[in-house]
Amino acid sequence: MQTNTMASEWLVLLECARPSPAVRRLSELLANSVDWPALLALADDHGMLPLLGRRLQDLDEAFVPPEICQRLRDRQRAQVIFTLSMTAELFRLRDRFAAAGIDVLLTKGPVLAMRCYGDPGLRQYCDLDLIVRGRDIARSTEEMIALGYEPKVPLAAIRAQKLPGEYVFAGRDAKLLVEFHTENTFRYYPRPLSVDRLFERQELVQVDGHGVPSLSTEDELLLICIHGAKHFWERVMWIADVAALVTHQSIDWDRGTAAAREVSAERMLRLGLLLASNVLGVRLPAEVAADVGSDTAAVRAVQRIVKRLPLAGSHPLGLLERAAFRMRMRGGFLAAPAYLLRLSLSPTEEDWAGESEAKRSSLLDAVRRPFRLARKYGRDDRQ
């Protein structure tokens, strides 16, 4: 879908993504010719269907065709059912791990939806993300198997302490996914992350009247900015999350900056804040705005991202573009190539041949990884 053929739909989507959309502005946009199937498809591509449905509820029914209202209601109903099942499973996991004496923190998913939108069903997600200490991953695996989950990472690889991108567990119906993250799987953080500090700074977030141990607001903000950078900020949903979080939650900016400095992710944080400000009109405190605006590399990155954003990742960046972006996010004459090299040589489960090779040398996996990445992304560079 080309940008010039969806100008109206794109403007509607961006207005709906704002933390506090203007009803009058949205009504004016919808009064123009809107391709409703295109708008719904665009919202789905950007993870914005639940939020779009909620925003349109505030408008006069005359602006939205009845059949579109029905499609949105059907989608919202399905989202609510899914959210209820995920929330119930979240409480089951929380209680099971507490009984086992294993500390866990929840991130993204329903907790982020509550923080940003006040409703766990207003954000699209497909799994639960839990953080545990690396030393607890073997026990966590045992608990998940006892709960009926199947580990997607081979058990032999876990026993051999091979490090995947994340430890994924699938429920019996294969629709319920749970991902575990440790200090060893946060590979897109420029410097090693101390999970112990995350636990020290944790906060309780109320989900359906129950307190859920979660990242501090500042650590959550940093994580979603790094996650957005990991995926090249290709979806509006990720920008909307940052915009809503800094608008609806109280941010200790000194603490947030310190958390970013701990892992050398200052530019990733600035980029996320710049996108929230430039794309969705979020007003940042004067000192914060001055700081993020002074990062010329981040400002240039925003310009490139905004041009590609309507595509929703349908035309992935090529290998060289991906590498250049990674280096810009890290910055530094030596630090940038070192960061890229580490990512390029840190194998994940995609680089393993299977359970039978779980004990194979990690060095061989590392050597194979750049060739796999070149096959996967190099085609776009040649085109």
pLDDT digits 0-9 by tens, 16-72: 999 999 999 999 999 888 999 999 999 999 999 999 999 998 888 788 999 999 999
In a domain, 333, yes or no: yes
Mean pLDDT throughout 120-134?
94
74 burial type by CB count under 10 A (0-12 exposed, 13-18 middle, 19+ buried): exposed
Q: Is residue 202 one of the residues assigned to a domain?
A: yes
Residue 163 pLDDT: 87
Residues 6+ apart with CB under 8 A from 243: 17, 18, 19, 276, 280, 282
Indicate if 127 and 233 belong to the same structural domain.
no
Instruction: Establish if 22 belongs to a structural domain.
Output: yes
Which of 215, 238, 266 is the endpoint of a domain?
A: 215
Return the top range by mean pLDDT from 35-44, 173-182, 354-363.
35-44
Provide the domain count of the chain. Answer: 4
The model's pTM is 0.92
Picking from 315, 346, 372, the residue at the C-terminal end of a domain is 315
Same-domain check for residues 329 and 379: yes
pLDDT confidence of residue 161: 85
Same domain? For 101 and 203 the reply is: yes
Q: Are residues 198 and 146 in the same domain?
A: yes
Q: Do 108 and 203 reside in the same domain of the chain?
A: yes
Q: Is the pLDDT of residue 194 over 90?
A: yes
Same-domain status, 110 and 170: yes
Domain containing 290 equals 228-315
CA 300, 301, 305, 307: dihedral to nearest 10 degrees?
20
Q: Please tell me whether residues 361 and 376 are part of one structural domain.
A: yes
- Which of 22-36, 155-169, 316-330, 355-369 is predicted with the least confidence, judged by mean pLDDT? 355-369
**Half-sphere exposure for 176 (CA within 13 Å, toward CB):** 19
Percent of the chain with pLDDT over 70: 92
CA dist 326 and 340 (Å) reads 6
> What average pLDDT does range 185-198 have in this prediction?
96
Do 271 and 381 fall within a single domain? no
Instruction: Tell me if 52 is assigned to some domain.
Output: yes
Higher pLDDT, residue 127 or 353: 127
As a whole number, mean pLDDT of residues 233-258 equals 97
Does one domain contain both 100 and 147? Answer: yes
Residues 218 and 263: beta-carbon distance below 8 Å:
no
Residue 33: per-residue pLDDT: 83
pLDDT above 50 (res 264)? yes
Asked whether residue 233 falls in the same domain as residue 183, the answer is no
Same structural domain for residues 173 and 273?
A: no
Could you say which of 315, 335, 356 is where a domain stops?
A: 315
| pLDDT average, residue stretch 232-255 | 97
CA distance 381 to 27: 42
105-124 confidence digits (pLDDT tens)? 999 999 999 999 999 999 98
Q: What's the burial of 255, exposed, middle or buried (CB within 10 Å: 0-12/13-18/19+)?
A: middle
Give yes or no: residues 235 and 340 share one domain: no
Q: What is the CATH number of the domain that holds 152?
A: 3.30.460.40
To which residue do tokens 């085609």 refer?
A: 379
